[in-house]
Amino acid sequence: MAALVGFGLIKGRSDISQLAAPWNAVSGGWLLVSLACGAAAALLLLRAAHGVPALQNLRLIKPGPIWTHTEAAASMRALRRGIRWFFACVVSLVAAVAFTWYGPTAAKPQLNVTVGDSAICGAVEGLADAHLTMHTSVGQSTVDLRKATALRVVDACEKSPSP
- Per-residue pLDDT reduced to its tens digit, 126-141: 888 888 888 888 888 8
d(CA 67, CA 61): 9
Question: In which band, very low, low, confident or very high, does the pLDDT at 2 lie, cut at 50, 70 and 90?
Answer: low
Q: Could you give the residue ranges of the DSSP H alpha helices within the chain?
A: 2-9, 23-50, 65-102
pLDDT tops 50 at residue 162: no
Question: In which band, very low, low, confident or very high, does the pLDDT at 33 lie, cut at 50, 70 and 90?
Answer: very high
**pLDDT value for 43:** 93
**pLDDT value for 153:** 87
User: Which span out of 17-26, 29-38, 109-118 was modeled with the highest average pLDDT?
Assistant: 29-38
User: Which span out of 10-24, 51-65, 74-88, 135-149 was modeled with the highest average pLDDT?
Assistant: 74-88
Q: Is 162 helix (H, G, I), strand (E, B) or coil?
A: coil
Q: Is 62 helix (H, G, I), strand (E, B) or coil?
A: coil
d(CA 8, CA 99): 15
pTM: 0.61
d(CA 111, CA 127): 13
Give the percent of the chain with pLDDT over 90: 23
